[in-house]
Structures are given as structure tokens and as C-alpha cells.
Amino acid sequence: MGGKFILRVEDTDTARSTRASEEAMVRDLKWLGLDWDEGPDVGGACGPYRQSERTAIYKEMADKLVAEGKAYPCFCTDEELEAMKKDAEEKKLPPIYRGKWARATAAEVEAAKAAGLPYCYRFRVPPNQEVKISDLIRGEVAWNTDTLGDFVLLRSNGMPVYNFCVAVDDALMGITHVLRAEEHLPNTLRQMLIYQALGFPVPTFGHVSLILAPDKSKLSKRHGATSVGEFRTQGYLAPAMINFLSLLGWNDGTEQEIFTVDELTTKFSLDRITKSAAVFDKVKLGWMNGQHLKQLPEEESGAMAAQHLVACGLLANADSAFARAAVKLVSKSMELVTDAEPEVRKLLAYPLAETLAAPEAKAVIDDGFAEVAGAVLAAHESGELAAAMAKGHEGYKAWITAVGKAQKRKGKKLFMPARVALTGRMAGPDVGDQLEVLGALAGPADVAQAGAYVPLGERMAELKAWLEAHKQ
């Protein structure tokens, strides 16, 4: 489509807009890989790019409208405006401004100014006019100006309101297409009147449907993360976020769901945007992130997960042999790089007592757990288990097979009690793989968090204590 990407900061709401919030948004946009041609950080022909730095421009435009009789100063107090609103409610009329200052004489205006009364600027809405747009998504949309009162352009403190700012900025910055949420449709009438009054060209509008929560309510903080930064912190990948967000209200007409950013850039077209509201499905986002994670080179995804394990305080070194081996072991089940943390914690821990106290462990205990656990303990005390572990997965496999032959056990009757005895859990990755990874530990120093790692010797001591406490 060509054109330029301009980043504009709409910060006239001084109560909500801070430089810190601006920096956070810019940081999030850059993380997503968005690269603008003009903006507050790179400059350009359309600057300044913060609306708070363009107040002189808005004042000039407001004065122009006043001089042409298309706007006027309004000295109504908050109390007067509230009284007008209540009167309209009692008469079952829309709460639109029909105040006296729309009809005030020049002498009355000058007298009010001389008295030092605070005032705002209001746009003089022409009566009974139909205003239409041809919306790219919703087709023809029309309003009658009688549904709208004279609205504020500049507040009494001199700060412009949103609708005035964006109309002036869109025109002066050469914006040709305005794509935004459907909740902005009511603003479009005001902006259309401003464009027309100032003689500006009207951009093409497209109002997309809102993104809804799974319960079909409006997405809000109570549904979880709502900022890009929060998703980044939770371990989502930027390409996955772009992929997921692009498919909320758009598709390319095929069943394809996983797209690269380049593919989306090539395939995107306005005519494929849908009118129906999209639902933000975090489960789908997690799955999609997992697909993007799998497409990364193993070294890259592994390094990201290992760095997270250090950042969260679990491991001491992201480049250690243990960190690399542990991440490789748990990576198959990861949807997010942050998923590595709970899985590696499980690998390091040994919750034997908790596991054996659970109701589901009764069948394992009743099926000869003590017999297999005794063999594990004996192999540890004799050094046989350490020798098997030194040979890696194949060494463990040969050893557990020998135990099975000696006890005439195989399958689940052998592997489940051995798993519980060695890992303290009834589920997880292959036990031989776990022992091989734990064998890569240089020592407790590899683990930054005290108490997170239970070495084999401590495991066997706990197992021995359990066996002695539960002798038949």
C-alpha cells in the first residue's frame, strides 16, 4: 500500500498520560518489531508528535473557527451544565448542550472575558444536517446533527479535547485512512464536522469490532494481562503476538493459522476484516506461541528459556551444561519460555512424602513399592546406581531392566515405583533422561535458589526414612 508510518502520542489527558507510560508503550511497540518512519524519538516533517506539544496549533485552529462563527467561547459553570443535564433528563431529551452562550452577543462575550470568567471553546453544530461516511467495514453510516449538542474543542485550561486534536492532526499529518475500534463511531460525527468546518480533506474510515473476553464481555483487566508488556513478561514471543492479534477479526480465506510477520504483511487486505466481534482466547494464544517457539532453532529457544531460569532466580548460569540439558528435556512441553521454570523446579525437587501421601499413590504402594524402592536404595548404597547413572540414559536402562528381572517385574509394575523412588513424583519426563540431566549438575552452585535442588544422596536418605517408617 505504500505510505508512511507515523507514531503520534495522544497525551492531552494529563491525569493519565505520563512520560513513563509513553516510554513503556514505545518499548512495547519496538519489542513487537514495529518500526515507524516519523515519531517523537526519530523526528520527521510532521512534528511535533506529542499532542501536548501542539497546543499552539490547536489554539490557532480554534481561533480560526471562532473568527468564522463556527465556534464560540462558553462561560457556563459546572453547576449550570449540571442543571441543564438534569432538565434534559426530566424532559426525556438527550443531554446535549443548548446553552445561552451559543447566542451571546459580542458585547456579552467581551464583558465575561473582562470579568475574568473561565471559558472553553465550543463547536457550533449546524442544525438538522445528515452526515455520512462510507465505512470500509460497516458500509454506509449516517448521523443527524440534531442528535449532537455544541461540543467542547478547548477546555477552560487551554487543553484541547480528543476529537479536536485527532481531526486537526490527521489533516495536518496527511493521514488518509483511520482504522479503529467501533466504539469510536460516535466520535466520527464530531470529527467529520471539524474536518468540514476547517476545509480539510476527510480520511477514509474503517471501524473494527471490539475484542471480547471468553464470556463475551468487553475485555478488561479482570480477564488477565491487558498490555503488551505484561505478555512479554509472561514469556510470549513477539511474532506469536502479532500472529494472534492479526487473526482477531481478519483471515486470509484459508485454514492457515500460523503466519510469519512477512506472510501477514504480504497477505493482509482490508476487505478480509470481519464485522463480527473477535474473542480473545488465551488458550489459543498459548498454543500459537508454542508453535512459533517450535519453529525457532533449538539453540535460540533453549537460550531464551535458560536466561529466564536465571532471571527468575532459579539457576545461577544460563550457559551451564545443566541449564542447557534441563531446558532441552522440558522444551517439548513448553508453550512459553517461562514454562521452563516450573518444569525445571520439578526436576530439581523431591516431593516423596507428599506424593506417597496422596490417595492416587495407594495403588503404587500396595503393588510392592517398598520392594522396588529397597532395590533402588541398595543400588545407591553399593555405588551400583551411581555407576549406572555415569553411563547416561543407557546405563539407567540396563540397570532398571536388571532390577525387573531380579524381581520378576516389568512395565508399569516396575517403572512406576522406580520413578517415585528416584524422582518423588508419579509423572514427568523419562526417568533415565531426568537422571542424565541431573548428572550434568556441577553441584549445588549451579542452582541459585537455596533448597530448590535435592541431591541424590538426600533423596535416598528420605527414601530410607520412609521405608523404615512403613515397614510391615
Q: What is the pLDDT of residues 108-148, one digit of tens each?
A: 999 999 999 999 999 999 999 999 999 999 999 999 999 99
CB contact set of 354 (below 8 Å; sequence gap of 6+): 424
Q: What is the CA 95 to chain-centroid distance, rounded? A: 37
* Residue 1 predicted with pLDDT over 70: no
Q: What is the mean pLDDT of residues 325-340?
A: 93
**To the nearest whole percent, how much of the chain has pLDDT over 70?**
99
In CATH, the architecture of 221-295 is: Orthogonal Bundle (1.10)
Spatial contact of 8 and 174, defined as CB atoms under 8 Å apart = no
pLDDT in tens, 361-383: 999 999 999 999 999 999 999 99
pLDDT in tens, 250-293: 999 999 999 999 999 999 999 999 999 999 999 999 999 999 99
Amino acid letter for position 438? L
On average, the pLDDT of the chain sits at 93
Spatial contact of 240 and 228, defined as CB atoms under 8 Å apart = no
* Residue 225 predicted with pLDDT over 70: no
* Composition of the chain by helix, strand, coil, percent to 5: 55, 10, 35
pLDDT in tens, 33-92: 999 999 999 999 999 999 999 999 999 999 999 999 999 999 999 998 888 888 888 888
Q: For position 134, what pLDDT does the model report? A: 96
For the entire predicted model, the pTM comes to: 0.85
Spatial contact of 421 and 373, defined as CB atoms under 8 Å apart = yes
Q: For position 428, what pLDDT does the model report? A: 94
Amino acid letter for position 155? R
Cell readout for 356 is 506417597
Q: Count helices and strands (H / E) in the chain.
A: 21, 9
Backbone φ, ψ for residue 283 (5° rounding):
-65, -45
Q: What is the CA 353 to chain-centroid distance, rounded? A: 39
Fold exhibited by the domain 54-208: Rossmann fold (3.40.50)
Task: Give the end-to-end CA distance of the chain in Å, rounded to a whole number.
Answer: 79
* Residue 298 predicted with pLDDT over 90: yes
Of the listed 91, 92, 221, 408, which one is catalytic? 221
Closest CA to 282 of 188, 369, 202, 214: 214
What residue segments make up the domains of the chain, in order of their start?
A: 54-208, 221-295, 298-348, 352-469
Q: Give, in order, the Cα–Cα distances in Å from 472 to each of 114, 246, 374, 466.
A: 101, 63, 13, 12
pLDDT in tens, 340-359: 999 999 999 999 999 999 99
64 is catalytic: no
